[in-house]
Amino acid sequence: MNLKGEYTLIKDSLIYDFFAHPMRIYYIFAGILAIFGALVLIFRIGDFISFHQFIFLELFCAAAFCGFLFTAVPDWANYKKSLMSYSISGFVILILALISQILGFNGHIFIAIFWSFLALVVSFWLILGKNYDNFALIFLLFSIALVEILGLFYGLNSYALLHCYVAGIILIGFRVSMTLGNLALDKKFGKDNNTYTFIPNPILKNISFLSIITLAYATLLNLNLETQGFIAFGAGLITLSLLAQWHYKFFLSVHYTLIYYILLLGSGILYNAFGLNLLLGLDFSSKILHGITIWTLLGFVFFIFNVSSLRHSGQVVLNLPICGKMGLGFLFIAVISRVFLSDFWDSFYITVPAIFVGLVFLMFSGRYFIIYKNNPFTDDPK
């Protein structure tokens, strides 16, 4: 076979398609990591507490954010060149992090390198495209890199990292909610007859982002618990205020906007509970923070995986598959088990939540691998 024929064969391969369109490889990789992390907990593999934390809070989130940003930011910055080299570079760094941790070395070094790499690449694309409207995103990425770098010297502050991720979800969720709202309007009035445009409140989004990223820095700087509690309670109230723009019957009657609403509602309640817990000096921080991790972090990531995957696989009319709808219910069971039932039976503490989280991403990985395989990557339908 001549070189041209070999190149054509490579370009037509599934692995080429996945790396050329980073959303696909990183989302599937994140799903596999979540399954692996669940198995580590269920079967108590090695130092399963710290290992599962590394998998979920660092590897999984790194892959999830990278998959979204390596797809969205080139579009925002009008970057048209190949993403292959960036996609492979980031993937190799994450694989090295995983292998290092498994072999007993410090995988956190590679995670710090990864977030620094991601922050620099995203900044480069935005500056190159003269897109100066995403300062909050750049600040967030460098904040995560800072938390990881400081963690190498002083020990990782996992709660500061969690709040950074939630702040990122607020930013990404704003973009996603705009799409969801307009799709719901098109469904109600008809795409050709719809004269309305849904624009979520950017001021509330900014305040919500600032409150949660402030909480991250308050946690990182180890400010007193009352101060952290006050910030957390305020963040919860502001998150709940985002619900007002969805209080219309047609939004709450469409499955994807209803799911987004429920995720926001649970997130606001959990941050309120966390704030009150700190203000009143109670002892439920670990339970509530695990609830935030499962419901807000994993829940929104899973939901955004579904929406963005379908939108970039040619689905103009958004309709989440059954696994996308069931996943929210499974995560709800995991939260109830970990936060409320763990005092009554040991299995509710680790095993039951791990099983349901693992099932969520097992369903996702299986279903969306088939969707990716059978549908060419497309630009997001406008």
Query: What percentage of the chain carries pLDDT values higher than 70?
Result: 97
Entry pTM: 0.94
Give the pLDDT confidence score for residue 235 in this predicted structure. Answer: 97
pLDDT at 194 over 70: yes
Question: Which of 51-55, 190-194, 324-328 is least confident?
Answer: 190-194
Give the pLDDT confidence score for residue 1 in this predicted structure. Answer: 45
pLDDT at 14 over 80: yes
Average pLDDT, the chain: 93
Q: Is 246 exposed, middle or buried (0-12, 13-18, 19+ CB in 10 A)?
A: buried
Give the pLDDT confidence score for residue 11 in this predicted structure. Answer: 60
H-helix segments, the chain:
3-11, 14-20, 22-42, 48-53, 61-76, 84-102, 108-128, 135-154, 158-189, 202-220, 225-241, 249-252, 255-279, 285-291, 299-311, 322-336, 351-374
Average pLDDT of 164-184? 95
pLDDT at 4 over 80: no
Give the pLDDT confidence score for residue 10 in this predicted structure. Answer: 53
Task: Decide which of 200 and 317 is more confident.
Answer: 200
- How many whole angstroms separate alpha carbon 378 and alpha carbon 310? 10
pLDDT at 189 over 50: yes
pLDDT at 324 over 50: yes
pLDDT band at 382; cut points 50, 70, 90: low
Average pLDDT of 313-324? 88
Task: Return the ∠ at Cα 378 (arms to 180 and 361), rounded to 5°.
Answer: 65
Q: pLDDT (tens digit, 9 = 90+) per residue, 42-74?
A: 999 888 899 999 999 999 999 999 999 999 999
Give the pLDDT confidence score for residue 277 in this predicted structure. Answer: 97
**Residue 256 to residues 205, 215, 250, 317, 366: CA-CA distances in angstroms?**
20, 29, 11, 11, 21
Give the pLDDT confidence score for residue 379 in this predicted structure. Answer: 86
Q: pLDDT (tens digit, 9 = 90+) per residue, 258-267?
A: 999 999 999 9
